[in-house]
Amino acid sequence: MKTVKKADRLAVGSTRERILRSGVVLFQAHGYHGTGVAAILDEARAPKGCFYHHFPGGKEQLAVEAVEWLAGEVDAFLDRLNGAQAGGADMALGMTRYAAKGSARAGTMRGSLIAVLAAEAVPGSAAIGDALKRAIASWTGKLSAGFKRSGVVESDMVAIRALALLEGATVLARIAGRPEQIVEIVAAALNDVVSGAAGHTPASFRL
């Protein structure tokens, strides 16, 4: 897959940014395979024929950069919470509210970009799989720091469970058509962490 240097990405301008953000929205709404280049350009109000100028690696490159964009947004959010010395449960719930708000934009219930790409693109794309792994590893580390601050044993595993819970809650909320259900499910399950005695890892996350 061809890549574009960071400096070149920044120099491309707003058309490239619109294409990227439109790709995120359409992947979430219609899936990776259900989203064509023409639809992305239409959503972005971008000139026909410019897609491969901005993304010479095609839709795969767009998906990789979509994951990297999302990872950067969530990383910055979690970094702010870590800077404020927030606990792991508060960080996970904050991340959940962030996800719920994003999924409900424009009056539609969209799916998780991570779940969509993991299900549809990973089997055939090592590049997308690697981007997803980097995102999950980064979020796990940041959440783990918060859980460790809260005195939770095996904070890495608890952080992974929190992420799995968030992704699962997003799927269930989309089926129900209720983005607020994402927060309801995660908040209820995180009570295991909040109410658990310091120094003990919750036995499970329960719905």
Q: What is the pLDDT along the chain (207 residues), one digit of tens a residue?
A: 444 344 333 334 589 999 999 999 999 999 999 999 999 999 999 998 899 999 999 999 999 999 999 999 999 999 999 999 999 999 999 999 988 887 776 566 788 999 999 999 888 999 999 999 999 999 999 999 999 998 888 899 899 999 999 999 999 998 988 888 999 999 988 876 555 534 444 444 333
pLDDT on residue 43: 93
**pTM over the 0.85 mark:** no
Cα angle: 186, vertex 74, 159; to 5 degrees: 45
How remote is the C-alpha of 85 from its chain's centroid? 22
On whether the CB atoms of residues 117 and 27 are closer than 8 A, the answer is yes
Rounded-to-integer distance, Cα 80 and Cα 86, Å: 9
On whether the CB atoms of residues 99 and 182 are closer than 8 A, the answer is yes
Residue carrying the six token digits 């707003």 = 14
pLDDT on residue 32: 95
- Give the SS3 label for residue 80: helix
On whether the CB atoms of residues 63 and 23 are closer than 8 A, the answer is yes
Rounded-to-integer distance, Cα 189 and Cα 207, Å: 6
pLDDT on residue 60: 97
pLDDT on residue 123: 83
Rounded-to-integer distance, Cα 118 and Cα 122, Å: 5
The pair of three-digit structure tokens given for residue 77, joined into one six-digit string? 């959010």
pLDDT on residue 98: 87
> Among residues 177, 162, 42, which one has the least CA distance to residue 109?
177
| Long-range pairs of 138-141 with CB within 8 A, sequence gap ≥ 24 | 138/71, 138/75, 139/71, 139/74, 139/75, 139/78, 139/95, 139/163
On whether the CB atoms of residues 144 and 159 are closer than 8 A, the answer is yes
Please enumerate in sequence order all residues whose Cβ is within 8 A of that of 38, keeping only pairs 6 or more positions apart, or say none.
48
pLDDT on residue 143: 96
Going from the C-alpha of 53 to that of each of 40, 117, 155, 166, the distances in angstroms are 14, 23, 44, 36
pLDDT on residue 111: 87
Class at the top of the CATH hierarchy for domain 59-195: mainly alpha
